[in-house]
């Protein structure tokens, strides 16, 4: 770890030393020509709404003939050399946002062309009044298809550029140690209780309780597979899991590239304290997946589809693949009594299948007013579907509900896997909108009227980072605090402890 | 000479004569190393360069730096970039090995009859590169190829400097005769000879294979065919794959596919697990891509990048496939990354302007050929035989072009699936028949006389077939022996392949096992 930090520091120092050698202007040019064009900046931060505690929004300005640039953001001046990259001073940035909480910041971009300075059409950045949760955790993995190598769970401090490792698998190939990690989940935006899965070598589900952790195995003849998509109950030591028998197929000539299909899936309830598991829903007729608790913990939302094939032969994914575009998921909810820990009758929440469409990943806002989900043309693994967009349903008295797209947040590429901030004003989600292949984290303001604003790309110190990184971001989860348990402790639990088998109750 | 004179002589530094002899053998070693690295191993290292990636960028190299000895691997990859030009790369290798030998001699204070020992580390490296074959760069870290010798030289240079600093005088060696120098030179020649022999014995396919890969980089399809013909009796799956690409791109697939041995000896290679592997996926990306199955190629190239990290090979393919898919932004991303690597200007100058310009994609001979062969109907990769390259065409029943029909017919011939072959030949009635298809029909006609009615031009083929049957009859019980005896006479003749070709089909644990053990929905 120390070595990694040292190496990273050395790289940063080398980069900074090189940067120091290049010339960056430090003041706004006094004479310039006004242009009618907008500046070509990456990421596109024009007219986005940002939280007042976000890290500096560094940009890369591109202009064919310019040799240097100035980006003026309110009182803050950021210069850029020929590469067009700004490196905004964090202290000055914090001061700027502090002064403009709930207000707009005008941004003016200047470029020094051979004929003199020019200024592009100014744009605005809106600073919201509400903070975003300070930490975002995610998985970084190649958008590969079947194989995996080095991957890990990371946690980004959103107020600066620090990225910490939560857990990383083995960097060097080893038959004894190769494993994948996925599906990290937190209880009620807090890092006190969290979990993630380990697949292959050292397999199990790692359950974290503060600074301690242990590994469990959810296995039983009655259960399809291990627990997959998790959702912590907001207050009780309970986790709802889906258990999925999943396969994937690859398009040879199609606008989509991959289909990930569930051949079968059910819902489970895992009791953390008693290390026991039982079915919530189990049927051959339906595919149930993506459980999500309501913030009061009295209702469980999930996706459900009718299985198109009743009797599947041996090569099940292949058979299911024939029906890949007729798998349509609706969102249901089922009441839960915390006292008796019993479930009631399912209720249809979002009827997408009757419209010939399919939902995925339901997430209820912390105030319980909105149900956020992804809607695509078919299936449930919408991160591989260009048709996938974010939608919301206003939850109210019966008959007053309405479903609507988050138009300002969506693009013509896949949007999926979203999470709320604890104050309900921000949503973080992944999208393939930048290049159709590598998913990146975007953050959008969700106002009190249920309207999403234009999202912004997760800021990086080097704006090129999102272009150069050959990994995708998965499962962005916002939390109020940093994960406390150390990497070393998690390493010990994964590598050196046996998974305790959960008992199954009917 | 009395005792005193002897002592005097021993105290005097005797560097001039010995130094000149030592220098001559070092120079001799240097020239041999340069020749070996740039000519004998030139294509091998050139392909290793393509399977590697180096850019002076912290984000792009972060994954490698984080590994054990990460800096050494990065340095090794940086040095490997010189292999963009094999002469320059060879010069670098020769300099490194010569420096390693010279410094070894200095640091160990070797002299006289022991001076030859200074070549042991360098020849050890030579032997290693000759021994590992494809695993020099495939399913292995290419940064270690030059990273290890570079680290060795750097460490010895520091040690030599420290010795010089603390002892305060240069290393003096007693006088040695020219005989030791000759012995030293003979040792060097012996080592190089041993390396060459060992490599040829263990990996006879390696040089032709990498030669064809380099020729493919230069679109030299005629050269690829020629290389395959020069090594027609190799029996190597990868060579056969690249040969098929060359034939397909020059329109000769149906005439010359069976000109080389298609028996596929086992090869000496290991996978990531350390298990013996036939490296079946080594050529699949190239083959799938040139067969128009660029989506399948992307599948495998992404897996390759996941397992081995980015390489010029994978990034270039991903960029070209993004162009074929019309994913302009994605293509620009890959071009942006490739631009960070030194010396990749020619690739960028050719392909980068195509981003956003489908008409330029269509005008490029390579990309247009790939698009022309693309599957006409939607299907899933898993519905076809693996590897998808010929497997896809064996199952294909609807054809966009006559070329695709020929490919499919040839795939059936290759797979010896005669009913499927005949089904496709129905679409060729009335047209002139390519050589191998006519020969395949002749075999089919023995069982199905109706074939001769549909294809009356086969009469002459039937006479050839009779002759072949007579010649081959004695070997029908021992086809492996027959394959060797009959090859020279009947190479290129489909009935020879039908009865004596592709009969070993050795397939050792490897790629598929790895896929199963390390696969899943990520």
Please state which CATH number belongs to domain A135-500. 2.120.10.30
**Average pLDDT value for residue range A462-488:** 96
Query: How many residues does the structure list for chain B?
Result: 522
Average pLDDT (A429-437) is 96
What percentage of chain B's residues is helix, strand, coil (to nearest 5)?
Answer: 75, 0, 25
Question: For A228, left (φ over 0), alpha (ψ -120 to 50), or beta?
Answer: alpha
Residue A447 predicted with pLDDT over 60: yes
B370 is a domain residue: yes
DSSP-assigned states of every residue in B452-472:
HHH-GGGHHHHHHHHHHHHHH
CB A25 within 8 A of CB A70: yes
CA distance A236 to A257: 40
Query: Are B22 and B89 part of one and the same domain?
Result: yes
User: What would the two tokens of residue B356 be?
Assistant: 């956003």
Pair (B333, B369) in one structural domain:
yes
Contacts of B295 in chain A (CB under 8 A): 250-253, 257
- State the first-to-last Cα distance of chain A, in angstroms, to the nearest integer: 45
pLDDT at B510: 43
Band of residue B506 on the pLDDT scale cut at 50, 70, 90 = very low
Question: Which chain B residue's Cα is nearest to A147?
Answer: B519
For residue B383, being part of any structural domain is answered with: no
Residue B11 confidence (pLDDT) above 90:
no
- A53's enclosing H/E stretch is none
Residues B185 and B218 placed together within one structural domain of the fold: no
- Closest chain B residue to A317 measured between Cα atoms? B382
> Among A167-171, A187-191, A298-302, A305-309, which stretch is predicted with the lowest mean pLDDT?
A305-309
Predicted pLDDT at B343: 93
Q: What is the mean pLDDT of residues B154-174?
A: 80
Task: Identify the closest residue of chain A to B297 by CA–CA distance.
Answer: A252
The answer to whether residues B511 and B271 touch, using CB atoms and an 8 Å cutoff, is: yes
- Amino acid B389: pLDDT: 65
Calpha distance A478→A481 (Å, rounded): 9
Residues B274, B314 within the same domain:
yes
Tell me what ipTM this predicted complex has: 0.91
pLDDT exceeds cutoff 90 at B16: no
> For residue B245, what are the domain limits?
208-376
Average of per-residue pLDDT across B419-426: 91
Tell me, yes or no, whether B69 and B123 share the same domain: yes
Domain boundary residue among B359, B376, B393?
A: B376
Which residues are A215's β-sheet partners?
A: A206
pLDDT tens-digit profile of B29-72?
999 999 999 999 999 999 999 999 999 999 999 999 999 999 99
**Would you state the pLDDT for residue B516?**
40
Helices marked H in A56-159: 90-99
> Are B364 and B241 in a shared domain?
yes
- CA nearest B212: which of B50, B406, B436? B50
For the cut 60, the answer to whether the pLDDT of residue B4 exceeds it is: no
Mean pLDDT, residues A441-445: 98
Out of B71, B273, B382, the one facing A249 most closely (by C-beta) is B382
Q: Would you call A253 and B295 a contact, using CB atoms and an 8 Å cutoff?
A: yes
Predicted confidence (pLDDT) at residue B1 exceeds the cutoff of 50: no
Residues B195 and B215 in one domain: no
Q: How many angstroms separate the CA atoms of B247 and B291, rounded?
A: 11
- How confident is the model over A268-274, as a mean pLDDT? 97
Say whether pLDDT at B335 is over 60: yes
Per-residue pLDDT at B404 exceeds 70: yes
B234, B164: one domain: no
Say what the pLDDT of residue B3 is.
54
Between chains, do A144 and B65 touch, taking CB under 8 Å as contact?
A: no
- B111-119 average pLDDT score: 86
- Is residue B431 situated within a structural domain? no
- The answer on pLDDT for A397 being more than 70 is no
What is A2-127's CATH topology? Immunoglobulin-like (2.60.40)
How confident is residue B27, by pLDDT bands cut at 50, 70 and 90?
very high
Q: How far apart are CA B500 and CA A198, in angstroms?
A: 49
Mutate to test the interface with A, among B68, B69, B518, B519 (most CBs of A within 10 A): B518
B470 found inside a domain: no
Whether B354 has a pLDDT exceeding 90, the answer reads yes
Residue B236 inside a domain? The answer is: yes
Q: Give the span between the Cα atoms of A419 and A292, in whole angstroms.
A: 11
Contact A251 B330 (CB under 8 A): no
Q: What is the pLDDT of residue B513?
A: 42
Whether the Cβ atoms of residue A278 and residue A268 lie closer than 8 Å to each other: yes
Is residue B169 located within the same domain as residue B245?
no
C-beta of residue A153 within 8 angstroms of C-beta of residue A477? no
Question: What is the rounded average pLDDT of the residues A79-108?
Answer: 96
Apex CA A280: angle with CA A274 and CA A281, to 5°? 155
Residues of chain B numbered 451-510 and touching chain A (CB < 8 Å): none
The closest CB to that of A144, out of B293, B375, B522, belongs to B522
Which residues on A lie below 8 Å from B334 (Cβ)?
none
Contacts of A173 in chain B (CB under 8 A): 272-273, 307
**Token code pair at residue B50:** 């393509």
Residues B179 and B221 in one domain: no
Query: Which range in A3-12, A285-294, A317-326 is most confidently predicted, on average pLDDT?
Result: A285-294
Q: Do B272 and A246 touch (CB under 8 A)?
A: no
Q: Looking at the structure, do residues B130 and B158 belong to the same domain, yes or no? A: yes
Contact list, A182 vs chain B (CB under 8 Å): 522
**pLDDT tier at A253, thresholds 50, 70, 90:** confident
Q: What is the pTM of this model?
A: 0.91
- For A180-195, what is the mean pLDDT? 95
**Per the CB < 8 Å rule, is A253 touching B57?**
no
pLDDT per residue over B238-290, tens digit each? 999 999 999 989 989 999 999 999 888 888 899 888 888 888 889 999 999 99
Predicted local confidence at residue B519, as pLDDT: 45
Q: Tell me: do B111 and B249 sit in the same domain.
A: no
Using a CB–CB cutoff of 8 Å, tell me whether A412 touches chain B: no
The answer on pLDDT for B17 being more than 90 is no
Does residue B521 have a pLDDT over 60? no
* Residue-wise pLDDT tens digits, B119-149: 999 999 999 999 999 999 999 999 999 999 9
**For residue B509, what pLDDT band results from cuts at 50, 70 and 90?**
very low
* DSSP letter string, B336-376: HHHHHSTT-HHHHHHHGGGTT-HHHHHHSHHHHHHHHHS-S
In a domain, B381, yes or no: no
Chosen domain end from B139, B171, B203: B203
Q: Which of residues 275-294 of B touch A (CB under 8 A)?
A: 293
Which one of B150, B177, B203 terminates a domain? Answer: B203
What per-residue confidence (pLDDT) applies to B511?
Answer: 46
> Is B302 close to A436, i.e. CB distance below 8 A?
no
Determine, yes or no, domain membership for B404.
Answer: no
Q: Which of B327, B398, B403 is nearest to B369 (CA)?
A: B403
* Percentage of chain A exceeding pLDDT 90: 81
pLDDT at B348: 98
Domain map of chain A by residue range? Answer: 2-127, 135-500
Chain CA centroid to CA B53, Å = 17
The domain tally of chain B equals 2
Please indicate, yes or no, if residue B400 is contained in any of the structural domains: no
What does the pLDDT read at residue A319? 75
CB–CB contact A253 B375 (8 Å) = yes
Q: Which tokens hold the place of B473?
A: 């009859």
Give the mean pLDDT of B142-160.
96
Percent of chain B with pLDDT over 90: 64
Q: Do B375 and A252 touch (CB under 8 A)?
A: yes
Q: Give CA–CA dist A491/A322, Å, rounded.
A: 41
**Average confidence score pLDDT of chain A:** 92
Average pLDDT score over residue span B402-410 = 87
Asked if pLDDT for residue B443 goes beyond 60, the answer is yes
Tell if the CB–CB gap between A11 and B63 is shorter than 8 Å.
Answer: no
- HSE toward the beta carbon, residue B454, CA cutoff 13 A: 18
Contact indicator for A500, A216 with CB cutoff of 8 Å? yes
DSSP secondary structure of A296-315:
TSSEEEEEEEE-S-SS--SS
Structure confidence at residue B22 (pLDDT): 67
Please tell me the distance in Å from A325's CA to the nearest CA on chain B. 13
The span from the first CA to the last CA of chain B, in angstroms, equals 82
């Amino acid at each position: 770890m120390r070595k990694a930090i040292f190496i990273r520091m050395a790289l940063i120092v080398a980069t900074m030393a090189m940067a120091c050698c290049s010339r960056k202007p430090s003041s706004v040019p006094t004479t310039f020509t006004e242009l009618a064009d907008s500046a070509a900046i990456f990421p596109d931060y024009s007219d986005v709404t940002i939280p007042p505690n976000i890290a500096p929004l560094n940009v890369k300005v591109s202009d064919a003939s310019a040799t240097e640039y100035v980006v003026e953001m309110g009182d803050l001046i950021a210069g850029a050399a020929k590469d067009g990259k700004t490196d905004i001073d964090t202290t000055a940035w914090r001061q700027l946002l502090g002064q403009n909480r709930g207000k707009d910041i005008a941004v003016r971009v200047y470029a020094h062309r051979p004929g003199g300075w020019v200024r592009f059409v100014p744009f605005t950045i809106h600073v919201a009044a509400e903070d975003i949760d300070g930490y975002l955790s995610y998985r970084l993995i190649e958008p590969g298809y079947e194989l995996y190598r080095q991957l890990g769970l990371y946690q980004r401090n959103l107020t600066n550029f620090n990225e910490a490792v939560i857990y990383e698998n083995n960097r060097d190939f080893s038959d004894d140690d190769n494993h994948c990690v996925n599906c990290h989940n937190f209880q009620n935006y807090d890092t006190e209780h969290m979990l993630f899965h380990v697949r292959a070598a050292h397999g199990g589900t790692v359950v974290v309780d503060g600074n301690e952790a242990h590994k469990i195995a959810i296995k039983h003849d009655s259960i399809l597979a291990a627990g997959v998509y998790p959702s912590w109950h907001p207050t009780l030591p309970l986790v709802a899991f889906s258990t999925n028998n999943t396969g994937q197929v690859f398009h040879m000539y199609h606008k989509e590239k991959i289909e990930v299909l569930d051949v079968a899936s059910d819902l489970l309830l895992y009791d953390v304290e008693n290390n026991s598991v039982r079915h919530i829903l189990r049927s051959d007729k339906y595919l149930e997946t993506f459980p999500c608790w309501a913030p009061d913990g009295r209702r469980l939302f999930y996706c459900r589809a009718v299985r198109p094939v009743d009797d599947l032969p041996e090569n099940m994914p292949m058979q299911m693949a024939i029906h890949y575009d007729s798998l349509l998921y609706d969102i249901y909810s089922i009441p839960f009594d915390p006292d008796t820990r019993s479930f009631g009758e399912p209720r249809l929440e979002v009827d997408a299948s009757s419209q010939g469409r399919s939902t995925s990943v339901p997430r209820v806002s912390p105030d319980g007013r909105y149900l956020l989900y992804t809607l695509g043309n078919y299936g449930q693994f919408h991160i591989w579907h260009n048709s996938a967009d974010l939608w919301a349903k206003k939850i109210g008295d019966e008959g007053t509900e309405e479903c609507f797209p988050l138009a300002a947040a969506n693009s013509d590429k896949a949007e999926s896997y979203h999470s709320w901030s604890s104050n309900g004003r921000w949503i973080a989600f992944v999208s393939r909108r930048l290049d159709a292949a590598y998913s990146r984290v975007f953050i959008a303001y969700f106002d009190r009227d249920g309207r999403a604003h234009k999202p912004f790309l997760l800021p990086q110190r080097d704006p090129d980072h999102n272009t150069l990184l050959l990994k995708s971001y998965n499962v962005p989860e916002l939390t109020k605090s940093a994960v406390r348990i150390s990497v070393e402790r998690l390493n010990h639990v994964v590598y050196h402890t046996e998974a305790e088998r959960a008992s199954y109750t009917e | 000479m009395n005792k005193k004179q002897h002592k005097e002589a021993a105290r005097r530094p005797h560097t001039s004569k010995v130094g000149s002899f030592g220098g001559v053998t070092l120079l001799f070693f240097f020239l041999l190393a340069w020749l070996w690295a740039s000519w004998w191993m030139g294509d091998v290292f050139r392909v290793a360069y393509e399977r590697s990636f180096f850019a002076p960028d912290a984000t792009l190299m972060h994954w490698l730096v984080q590994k054990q000895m990460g800096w050494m691997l990065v340095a090794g990859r940086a040095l490997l970039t010189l292999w963009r030009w094999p002469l320059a790369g060879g010069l670098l290798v020769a300099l490194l090995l010569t420096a390693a030998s010279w410094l070894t001699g200095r640091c160990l204070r070797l002299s006289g009859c022991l001076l030859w020992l200074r070549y042991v580390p360098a020849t050890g490296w030579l032997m290693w590169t000759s021994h590992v074959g494809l695993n020099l760069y495939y399913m292995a870290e290419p940064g270690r190829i030059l990273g290890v010798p570079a680290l060795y030289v750097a460490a010895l240079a520091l040690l030599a400097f420290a010795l010089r600093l603390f002892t305060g005088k240069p290393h003096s060696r007693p006088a040695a005769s020219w005989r030791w120098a000759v012995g030293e030179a003979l040792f060097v020649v012996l080592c190089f000879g041993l390396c060459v022999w060992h490599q040829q014995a263990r990996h006879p396919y390696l040089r032709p294979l990498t030669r064809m890969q380099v020729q493919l980089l230069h679109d030299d399809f005629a050269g690829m065919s020629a290389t395959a013909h020069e090594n027609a009796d190799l029996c190597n799956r990868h060579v056969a794959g690249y040969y098929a690409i060359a034939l397909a791109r020059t329109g000769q697939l149906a005439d010359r596919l069976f000109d080389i041995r298609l028996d596929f000896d086992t090869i000496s290679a290991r996978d990531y697990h350390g298990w013996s592997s036939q490296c079946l996926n080594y050529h699949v990306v190239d083959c799938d891509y040139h067969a128009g199955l660029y989506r399948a190629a992307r599948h495998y190239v992404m897996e390759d990048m996941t397992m081995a990290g980015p390489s010029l090979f994978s990034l270039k393919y991903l960029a070209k496939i993004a162009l074929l898919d019309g994913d302009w932004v994605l293509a620009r991303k890959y071009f942006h990354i490739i631009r960070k690597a030194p010396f990749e200007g020619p690739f960028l100058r050719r392909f980068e302007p195509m981003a956003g310009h489908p008409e330029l994609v269509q005008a490029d001979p390579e990309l247009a050929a790939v698009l022309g062969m693309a599957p006409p109907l939607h299907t899933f990769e898993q519905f076809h035989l693996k590897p998808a390259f010929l497997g896809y065409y064996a199952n294909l029943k609807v054809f966009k072009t006559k070329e695709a029909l020929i490919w499919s017919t040839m795939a059936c011939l290759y797979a010896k699936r005669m009913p499927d072959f005949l089904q496709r030949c129905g679409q060729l009635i009335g047209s002139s028949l390519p050589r191998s298809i006519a020969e395949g029909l002749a075999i089919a006609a023995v069982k199905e006389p109706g074939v001769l009615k549909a294809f009356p031009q086969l009469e002459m083929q039937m006479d050839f077939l009779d002759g072949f049957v007579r010649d081959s009859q004695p070997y029908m019980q021992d086809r492996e022996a027959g394959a060797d005896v009959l090859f020279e006479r009947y190479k290129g003749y489909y009935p020879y392949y039908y009865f004596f070709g592709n009969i070993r089909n050795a397939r050792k644990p490897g790629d598929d096992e790895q896929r199963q053990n390390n696969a899943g929905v990520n």
